[in-house]
Amino acid sequence: MGTEKERNERLGQIEAMLLRYLPAEEGYQKTVCEAMHYSIAAGGKRLRPMLMLETYRLFGGTSAIIEPFAAAIEMIHTYSLVHDDLPAMDDDEYRRGKKTTHAVYGEAIGILTGDALLNYAYETAARAFSMEPGNETIGRAFQMLSQKAGIYGMVGGQTADLEAEGETERSEEKLYFIYQMKTGALLEASMAIGALLAGAGEEEVRTVERAAGEIGLAFQIQDDVLDLTGSFAVLGKPIGSDQKNQKMTYVTLYGLDAAKQKAEELFLSAMQRLDALSVQNPFLTGLLRDLIHREK
């Protein structure tokens, strides 16, 4: 079975899982529930839940305990995109070729939709506690999910990224902090939680987390490259937004060729870490390779 066919099958399974965990579109709060469905249905690679599920399989996990966390991390990722697109942030009207949530429902509902997705993510992940009451790793996984999404993770990175716009003094240290927190943190959570819930050892969890961090840096650098070289037709969103918002990126600091080289170096380092593990998942390896060499 080819990688593309496998990926489509897994993607279909993730889409079905997300639908099972989303709230019903009913009641006086129906509009925000509809907007949650709209935001999730915008599609995408479902990278974070896929990485979580594949890392879980890598270490031999077979329980349904992983599903609430996989659904939750996609909700958290989607909430961040909904808020990123708001007029106060990137002010984007399109994402993945579709109107953004605030463009369809208005800015106020856009804000509430992001709030709802974040809160519902934690409500969803918390279901795992009743699925396996004696599983102590669930609490650790929940703590990791919360931390990587918050001020010591994605939100912290987004704050630094926002405040760095228009700065004349630019440093690699701050850029790496932004990338590690804004993009890398949720990827680290995805893979580390998958390993943790599958029963991996402490050193194995740390190895996976470090590899995911490097993948996150490479992913964001590749995103910088695509913002400069891509097209709306391929990316499904406006290009050149980094320049428009005067954002500090690896491309603006070091140039296009150096950015491509750095992304490749980080990817190879991450692969070396994963190859050193006693277990292997060829699908996961192929997924990560395609991720860094993607065109959208």
pLDDT tens, position by position, 196-215: 999 999 999 999 999 999 99
Checking if the pLDDT of 236 tops 80, the result is no
User: According to the model, what pLDDT value does residue 170 have?
Assistant: 72
Neighbours of 163 (CB within 10 A): 11
DSSP 212-238: HHHHHHHHHHHHHHHHHH--HHHHSS-
Domain boundaries, the chain: 3-292
- Residues 6 or more apart whose CB falls under 8 angstroms from that of 206 comprise none
Cα dihedral sign, 284-288-294-296: positive
> What interhelical angle do 107-125 and 66-84 show, nearest 10?
160
Checking if the pLDDT of 230 tops 90, the result is no
Q: Please give the Cα distance from 77 to 18 (Å, whole number).
A: 13
- Residues 6 or more apart whose CB falls under 8 angstroms from that of 1 comprise none
Q: Please give the Cα distance from 82 to 77 (Å, whole number).
A: 9
- 90 band by pLDDT with thresholds 50, 70 and 90: confident
**Its pTM surpasses 0.85:** yes
What share of the chain in percent tops pLDDT 70?
Answer: 93
Strand-pair partners of 95: 98
Checking if the pLDDT of 178 tops 70, the result is yes
User: According to the model, what pLDDT value does residue 232 have?
Assistant: 46
Checking if the pLDDT of 169 tops 80, the result is no
The answer to whether the CB of 202 falls within 8 A of the CB of 67 is no
- Phi, psi for 133 (deg, rounded to 5): -55, -30
- 96 band by pLDDT with thresholds 50, 70 and 90: confident
Least confident of 13-27, 214-228, 281-295: 281-295
For the domain made up of 3-292, give the CATH fold: Farnesyl Diphosphate Synthase (1.10.600)
